[in-house]
A and B are shown apart, each in its own frame.
Chain A
Amino acid sequence: MKMPITMRRVALVGPVSVVALLGCRPDTQPLVICHNANCVEPANPDEDDTAAALTASLALLDDDVPLIDGVEIDTFWNGAEARCLFAHDLAGSDEPDALAAVDVINAHLSGRFAQGAPLTHSGESFMLFVELKGHVGEAKSDKHSDEELARHADCAVDVFEAFAGPAVAEARPARVVFTSFEPALLRAVQDALEARAVNEPLVPVRLTALFGIPPPLDSQTLPIADFGDVDLGGVSIHPQWTRQTSQAAFDSLGLDVGYWVFSAVPETLAAIDAHQPSFVTTSEATFMRRWLDR
């Protein structure tokens, strides 16, 4: 790109800019989070949760300013092998351990921090989303046993500690958000955080419930009531599959509401304009950034 987006935006003239100047656009933008560690276009879920896609996504810059404000990685408990993977599912082969993703992120952030380069587009602290996948085998019906819940949650807290350690050492603020469709997993993470006395002011933690395609079309999304004993700080919802009344309910509960999408279409963009989520987890970081900066 020849010129920073912000400078080019100033040069824009026309109806859209006039509308923007009249105050018809929100003052604050949602944070852009890299979905499944893979947000280099074109959106391709086959590359989700791979080290190569994660490295390329972290390298998305515009005039040395990152396009993103954080990254989401998936942890998958492989029940057959009793391993905690950096993977979306078991479709691939030779998935690395979950901590491998943290190594890539830490190396990137520490390197830029040492150079004095910005770590996020917004200037706020870098956000690491850790999504705990709700099944342990090929099928979504392969649920965790109690032991697997505990071990998967321990793995997630291991990820937190591996990420927070360098941040604390470098006095580099960061945030971690644990997410899952499965209430039992968030409950297990909550228990593990308490059991391991995790309390790092420089790297605050939040638990966030995921909502997507509702049943009976998909089995992952559960009612918000099922998260009753989880100290939720927010929800991450798919804007095209979540009713407006549900969004109103989340708002009324005081939950921080964000969106997750793969590929943006007009429905996505209209929902962002209408509801102004605090973050958008997307597989198209460049498009989303340029749309927000339009």
Chain B
Amino acid sequence: MRPFSVSSFCAVVVALGTIGGQPARADDTAPTLPAPVVEPVEPSAPAASPSPVAPVAPVEPVEPTVVEPVEPVKPLVPTTAPTPFEIHGGLNLRTDLGVHPLRLDGGVRYGILDVVLVLDPMVLTDGQASTDLLLQLRSDVGIAGIAGWRLTTVGIADGIQFQQNLVLGVGMDLPSFFGGAVRGQGGLELAMMIVKHGADLPSEVISFASGRHYIDLVNFGMFARYEFGWAP
């Protein structure tokens, strides 16, 4: 399913207009009319004329004319809007070191909004996991604004440290495969560690007092996502 677009919006308008009895286009009335049939005109008898005028030739009977039904004009947009609701799932990939190179993501898309949850099965390899909850605002041209939160858990001796990150980014649709069954998205993100806490260690909150305060805590990354979508 495609994101909610101008064409989808027009489809909704057309559908509402038809329901309300106001056709969106004049041509749309054509298929609703019965095929008009012109009854043949009976030849009338010559009227008696008091004057000696040459008799008028009798009128030829008119053949009945049948107007062929007009082929309904297809509307420019479908009159039934596709459902804007979709469930999707796939892979979240990257090469930078901010999170594991392979994670699993899934989500729900409704119109231009897409809520994505990213899980990290590679926690089994090193005890570290990054879980994202992201909101995407998608546009007609395949570009999406991304904002969300990343919770990174770091396993250390005798505890787990939690690092809370603000994630901001932009995504762009990549070519799809298998007739659109597999879709791609690439993007750039900024992850900013806002606070780290846990494991009986003092909490640290980001500061912008100087570059030394945040040099380690603000990082950029590039990602690619490939997903299957399903519209119920």
Interface residues of chain A, those whose CB is within 8 Å of chain B, are 1, 5, 8-9, 12, 15-16, 19, 24, 41-43, 45-46, 48, 212-213, 218, 238, 240, 261-271, 273-274, 286-287, 289-291, 293-294
Residues of B within 8 A of A266 (CB): 97-99, 128, 130, 152, 154, 163
Partner of A287, one of B96, B124, B127, B156: B156
Using CB atoms, name the residue of chain B closest to A1. Answer: B158
Interface residues of chain B, those whose CB is within 8 Å of chain A, are 96-99, 124-128, 130, 152, 154-159, 161, 163, 193, 196, 199, 201-205, 209-213, 215-217, 219
Contact between A9 and B157 (Cβ–Cβ < 8 Å)?
A: yes
Contact between B212 and A262 (Cβ–Cβ < 8 Å)?
A: yes
Contact between A264 and B216 (Cβ–Cβ < 8 Å)?
A: yes
Contact between B204 and A43 (Cβ–Cβ < 8 Å)?
A: yes
* A207, chain B: closest CB distance, angstroms: 24
Residues of B within 8 A of A19 (CB): 124-126
- Beyond A265-B219, A291-B154, is A45–B96 a contact (Cβ under 8 Å)? no
Using CB atoms, name the residue of chain A closest to B210. Answer: A45
Partner of B156, one of A46, A212, A218, A291: A291
Contact between A290 and B199 (Cβ–Cβ < 8 Å)?
A: yes
Residues of A within 8 A of B124 (CB): 15-16, 19
User: How far does the alpha carbon of A34 sit from the alpha carbon of B209 in the complex, in Å?
Assistant: 21
User: How far does the alpha carbon of A12 sit from the alpha carbon of B158 in the complex, in Å?
Assistant: 9
Contact between A45 and B204 (Cβ–Cβ < 8 Å)?
A: no
Contact between A287 and B212 (Cβ–Cβ < 8 Å)?
A: no
Using CB atoms, name the residue of chain A closest to B205. Answer: A42
Contact between B202 and A290 (Cβ–Cβ < 8 Å)?
A: no
Using CB atoms, name the residue of chain A closest to B124. Answer: A15
Partner of B215, one of A9, A46, A262: A262
Contact between A16 and B98 (Cβ–Cβ < 8 Å)?
A: no
- Beyond A5-B158, A9-B157, is A267–B203 a contact (Cβ under 8 Å)? no
Contact between B98 and A267 (Cβ–Cβ < 8 Å)?
A: yes
Q: Could you write out 12 A-B pairs with CB less than 8 Å apart?
A: A12-B157, A19-B124, A19-B125, A41-B202, A42-B202, A263-B193, A264-B216, A265-B98, A266-B97, A266-B154, A291-B156, A291-B157
* A222, chain B: closest CB distance, angstroms: 18
Contact between A263 and B98 (Cβ–Cβ < 8 Å)?
A: no
Contact between B157 and A270 (Cβ–Cβ < 8 Å)?
A: no
- Beyond A16-B127, A266-B128, is A286–B158 a contact (Cβ under 8 Å)? no
Of all A-B residue pairs in the complex, the 3 with the closest CB atoms, nearest first, are A270-B97, A42-B204, A16-B127
Contact between A294 and B127 (Cβ–Cβ < 8 Å)?
A: yes
User: How far does the alpha carbon of A258 sit from the alpha carbon of B99 in the complex, in Å?
Assistant: 22
- Beyond A270-B97, A293-B157, is A262–B209 a contact (Cβ under 8 Å)? no
Using CB atoms, name the residue of chain B closest to A25. Answer: B126
Using CB atoms, name the residue of chain B closest to A46. Answer: B209
Contact between A263 and B217 (Cβ–Cβ < 8 Å)?
A: yes
Partner of B217, one of A24, A265, A274: A265
Residues of A within 8 A of B157 (CB): 5, 8-9, 12, 289-291, 293-294
Residues of B within 8 A of A218 (CB): 211
